[in-house]
Amino acid sequence: MTWPWRIFFSLACATDLYGGSVAGRVELVDSRDPAVRKHRDYSGVAVWLDPIGREAPAAPSRTVEMIQKGKRFIPHVLAIPVGTTVEFPNLDPIFHNAFSNFSGQPFDTGLYPPGTSQKVRFRREGVVRVFCNIHSTMSAAIVVTRTPFVAVTNREGAFRIEGVPAGEYRLRVWHERATEETLRALERKIVVGEDGGEVQLPLLRISESGYLEVPHKNKYGQDYPPAPEEHIVYPGVRR
């Protein structure tokens, strides 16, 4: 079975391509989100491995995309190692302004028109909440890790991290609708053997109980003004 890069994102160094792998599945419970309750969509959970007792290897420099289309950031959750550049192409026929005022790395692309793009290099570890300064409904998250051994779950909740050298690791998990206490309780030690085989983890259940959605402000720390009506029409699509 192949693992498309859009579903499983792993950035092991070239020297570690023949290391072991860590795989598992996440299930979201106690959710009020319709996509989870009705469709069992368990995507968008970041999972990574922090080496224990040694420094994480540096990831090769690269650029990945978080596109803006249909007034959405795609993918909604991106997990990357420190030093990665994220490009924000605007594929809508309207202006966008991606920004973050949250911990991790604040940034502001400024207002830019359709068909253009902006880039941001993420230099420190943390969770970066991304919004659009024009459209209050647009949101995303970029999980920046100090390790290159990172993945994001697909709709079935599956993840797989390739090229992991032998040794001990701390498994860490992030989900936008889980409390910090819930996520800390999921952490555990993982041992990857010298044989380069696969470590299959038991099912990880993440409770969304206790999650409270808080409306965000614009990049000036103010409430969003009423948005003007915008019509996005794509070729071949009837309204």
**Regions in the chain scoring below 70 on pLDDT:** 1-18, 103, 227-239
30: left (phi over 0), alpha (psi -120 to 50) or beta: left
Q: For residue 6, what pLDDT is reported?
A: 37
**184 phi and psi angles, rounded to 5 deg:** -65, -35
Amino acid at 99: F
**CA angle, 222 then 228 then 229, to 5°:** 140
Q: For residue 103, what pLDDT is reported?
A: 66
CB 179 within 8 A of CB 208: no
Q: Is the Cα torsion angle 193, 3, 68, 89 positive or negative in sign?
A: positive
Tokens for 197, please give them.
């085989």
Q: For residue 228, what pLDDT is reported?
A: 62
**Going from the N-terminus, what domains does the chain have, and what CATH number goes with each?**
1-52+152-210 (2.60.40.10), 58-146 (2.60.40.420)
Q: What is the pLDDT of residues 30-39, one digit of tens each?
A: 999 999 999 9
Strand order in the sheet with 126-132: 77-81, 139-145, 126-132, 98-100, 107-108
